[in-house]
Amino acid sequence: MDKSKRLTYTLYAILIFSLYILLKPSEKTEQKVEEIKKEISGEISLQFLKDRINDSNPEERAKAVNALGRKRNPKYVSDLIKILKEDDNQKVRLEAIKALERIKSKEAIPALISAAQDFDSRIKRKAIWALGEIGDSRAASSLTNSLNDIETEICREAVFALEKIAVYGKELKDIWVVQSLVSVIRNPYSDIQKEASWALREIGDKSAVPGLLQTLEDKNPSVRKYAVSALAELGEKDIIPALEKLLNDEDEKVRKSAEKAIESIKKR
């Protein structure tokens, strides 16, 4: 904060406390004085933080960004977006993403989508996580691209994010998103298969059914199992014959999943 502003706030505070002492105020006046004190303190604090985000020391910038995020006030979003786009320090940018997630402003979505395609792996992961937490369906296309990332953690985070957006009740019935999630069920990692299956169930788009039926022939029993789990929610009675073939599957978990899926579909 510049010296003139500091002086103004200091003089203002002295004046208020002088009046407080001279007038021997009532309870209402005391309350008003407390409100003014908090307002002055808040303004000084905000200005101090906004000065610190331009500090030459990245550690100080990161601390200031973190503090701004904890205030959860949308009026700081433009400052945080600028930091995310322009700061050259990874830690500061990560703090900006965390702060934007806390505030949950829709204004931040385009900047976070851009960060989700960053060259820095940690920035990408944190941006994808934030998009999922904010839950705006505009992020779906970007997240779908991330499903094909060569880094397993990026793919996993994208699946989680799409699942969260679906859970938040946003419209995700996009054929590209749905088919990409069907493909992810073939991922070699079982936790990713599981989350993709769950996301498809949450989205509830039956256009996933043909692709899921094809995965029932996959060599990986875990893939077959999670495909069956999704079909139990999305399929109709016409897919029962395909599920019945799995009642003789070599894998016990697949057999049990198929049995439960058939029972579930017949009850509808």
Query: Residue 243, class by beta-carbon neighbours within 10 Å (0-12 exposed, 13-18 middle, 19+ buried)?
Result: buried
| pLDDT for 92 | 96
**What CA–CA distance (Å, rounded) separates 145 from 159?**
11
SS3 205: coil
**What CA–CA distance (Å, rounded) separates 201 from 209?**
11
Please give the average per-residue pLDDT across 14-34, as a whole number.
Answer: 54
Please give the average per-residue pLDDT across 138-167, as a whole number.
Answer: 87
Please give the average per-residue pLDDT across 89-112, as a whole number.
Answer: 95
**What CA–CA distance (Å, rounded) separates 202 from 13?**
55
Torsion region of 173: left, alpha or beta (phi above 0 gives left; psi -120 to 50 gives alpha): beta
- pLDDT above 70: residue 38: no
Please give the average per-residue pLDDT across 92-96, as a whole number.
Answer: 96
Report the percent of the chain where pLDDT is more than 70: 78
Looking at per-residue pLDDT, the higher value among 8 and 38 belongs to 8
Contact call for residues 184 and 196 (beta carbons, < 8 A): yes
What is the identity of the amino acid at 150? I
Looking at per-residue pLDDT, the higher value among 91 and 202 belongs to 91
pTM beyond 0.85: the answer is: no
Q: Where are the domains of the chain?
A: 1-52
pLDDT in tens, 224-233: 999 999 999 9
